[in-house]
Structure 1
Amino acid sequence: MQNRTVSVEDRRGSEWGWFLAWLVVGGCLALGLAALPSVGVVLIVLAAVAAVLLLRKGHRTAVVGSLAGLALPLFYLAYLNRGGPGTVCHSTVGGQSCTDEYTPVPFLAGGALLFAAGFLVFLLLDRRHRGTH
């Protein structure tokens, strides 16, 4: 049998992997809440199952990655409304298509705030966790 020790770099890389997994769970949950009338229930159930699996196997401080994941749909909404505010028209094969768009700034600011909060809390918890070992 081999006695393998886990280096600090391996452990830190693994913690970032758990953070990214939780980021995806948070994004899936937020998207499920936004799409509740259509496919939202499926996404929420998928996020719940993934959360249970991650809580059983994963690194506990990485749970704050779900907070950062809540920002992903907000970033997408900011991208979709990038031409706003107001009516935005695009040329199509059959003529012209116009849509009303919101200002992207609130979506971008909310997403940036959630993403930064999740990222910073994870860094603080990771630093505290490393300091105790």
Structure 2
Amino acid sequence: MVTVRDRRGAEWGWFLAWLAVGGCLALGLAALLSVGVVLIVLAVVAAVFLLRKGHRAAVAGGLAGLALPLFHLAYLNRGGPGTVCHSTAGGQSCTDEYTPVPFLAGGALLFVAGFLVFLLLDRRRRGTE
């Protein structure tokens, strides 16, 4: 017998699977000139599988997954804006970094939007049962 708690846990599992698909797709688009095509194909194959087997409301996890590369860019540019220097064993290494705020804000917006859409769709689906 499947309980409500087990079913809700499974729905969150599908959401996390879609989150990974969205992240893979966004990373594939960002790296289109190198390994991006492989990542996009992998994301499409996973999406087809999830559409056939998964919980429909969890598709919103794909929207939240698009935020993952933006969070990574915000982390990489955490010392910016401007020139940031680090000491290494061989001397000093300097890089120009962007401000992380736009990447963080865009990522947060996509992540929260995907999360809220999932909750709204899930609540609507439970209301019709």
Quickly name the TM-score band, shorter chain normalised.
over 0.9
TM-score scaled to structure 1, two decimals?
0.96
Query: 2:33 is paired with a residue of what secondary structure?
Result: helix
**Structure 1 counterpart of 2:54:** 58
- The CA deviation at 1:83 is 0.0
- The CA deviation at 1:121 is 0.5
Give 4+ residue runs of structure 1 displaced > 2 Å after superposition: none
**Structure 1 counterpart of 2:41:** 45
Q: Deviations over 1:70-97 (max 9, x none)?
A: 0000000000000000000000111100
Q: Deviations over 1:4-43 (max 9, x none)?
A: x321111111100000000000000000000001000000
Query: 2:7 is paired with a residue of what secondary structure?
Result: helix
**Structure 1 counterpart of 2:13:** 17
Query: 1:96 is paired with a residue of what secondary structure?
Result: strand
RMSD after superposition: 0.5
1:68 corresponds to 2:61 = no
1:34 corresponds to 2:30 = yes
Among the aligned pairs, what percent are the same residue?
88
- Structure 2 counterpart of 1:89, which letter? C
1:96 corresponds to 2:92 = yes
**Structure 2 counterpart of 1:80:** 76
User: What is the aligned residue count?
Assistant: 129
**Structure 1 counterpart of 2:116:** 120
- The CA deviation at 1:131 is 1.0
Query: 1:37 is paired with a residue of what secondary structure?
Result: coil
- The CA deviation at 1:132 is 1.1
Q: Which runs of 5+ in 2 are unaligned?
A: none
TM-score scaled to structure 2, two decimals?
0.99
Q: Which runs of 5+ in 1 are unaligned?
A: none
Structure 1 residue corresponding to 2:128, chosen from 115, 119, 132: 132
